[in-house]
Amino acid sequence: MKKLTPFLFIVAAAFMGGGVSTLSKIASAEIPPITFTLLRFMLGALTLLPFFIIFREKITKIDRKSIIAISLLAALNPFLFFIGVKHTTAIMGQMVYTALPLITIIFSYWMGEETITRKKILGVLIGLIGALIIVVHPAIENGTNLTNSSMIGNIIILCAAISFSLYTVLIRKHQKDHSPLELNMYFMLTTITAQLFLLPIDLATAPAWWQTITNSGILGLLYVGIIGTGIYYLLIQYALKTSSPLAASTILYLQPLFTIIWAGILLGEKLTSSLILGGILAFIGIGLVMSRQKARQ
């Protein structure tokens, strides 16, 4: 059971994260982007607060400056993604993010956090193929022009993926002295602070957005904030603590599959044979990546 724990964290996080894309699209149509991100992370922080009280957690001062500096890398991720996706397509955005495990294994090896084996490389490549099948095949079937994207937008999204990849590698050294719950709260509070500085932009461009928000927008925000932020990122922290940055990053292989499953539940979209094949390859890739975790520890 102990060997399955990191895998269960990854699958659970991917499932919860799969709903974020669909429900964010609903909520962000009614809430300005910076305000949406701020409210999302405020809800995430409030979600974690009861756990702090129950488990008598506290924000300690050990390495506080270092953790905040590293958390800024994670805070950059949603901000850069928002900027980048405005200059490219959503499909290309997902495709760029499927490269995150490749980026992570490079950083992890460079910083001494990961040993590269043939099995891990094979797992990363098989998982990447599976994720790309999930992301690209429906777009091709629907006649989407994959070249209709901006190089600048793709580069910005790549920078977003790199910033989060660096965060997952660098934060590992603090997991000995800090719990996943505490590190996640640092991340939430750092992101909230960063978004507060940007909030005047939304106040100037959409000063009365709350007057037209619907129940769908509110429910979307609540899901993304409570489940897709508070619980989702906490599961990532636990996946990091119990496995490795590379294993945790493979969440991005499963998330597109669960995004489509969520779209099927909410929007009536159907699973196809290509999506099932992509999902199987994604699971095989993750299994290969994690198969040597016990030996590494």
Q: What tens digit of pLDDT does each residue of 158-196 get? A: 888 899 899 999 998 888 888 899 999 999 999 999 999
- Residue, of 262 and 126, whose pLDDT is higher: 126
What pTM does this model have? 0.82
What confidence tier does 43 reach under pLDDT thresholds 50, 70, 90? Answer: very high
Pull the structure tokens for residue 123.
């797992």
Beta carbons within 8 Å of 28's beta carbon, 6+ residues apart: 36
The three-state secondary structure class of 32 is coil
The answer on pLDDT for 73 being more than 60 is yes
The answer on pLDDT for 146 being more than 90 is no
The answer on pLDDT for 283 being more than 60 is yes
Question: Among 218, 269, 235, which Cα is nearest to 23's?
Answer: 218
> What is the 8-class DSSP label of residue 84?
H
**Average of per-residue pLDDT across 267-278:** 72
Question: Among 66, 129, 69, which Cα is nearest to 95's?
Answer: 129
Distance of alpha carbon 124 from alpha carbon 147, whole angstroms:
25
Mean per-residue pLDDT of the chain: 82
Distance of alpha carbon 88 from alpha carbon 249, whole angstroms:
23
* Number of Cβ within a 10 Å radius of residue 121: 14
In percent, the amount of the chain with pLDDT more than 90 equals 23
* Lowest-pLDDT range of 105-119, 183-197, 222-236: 105-119
pLDDT of residue 251: 87
pLDDT of residue 294: 45
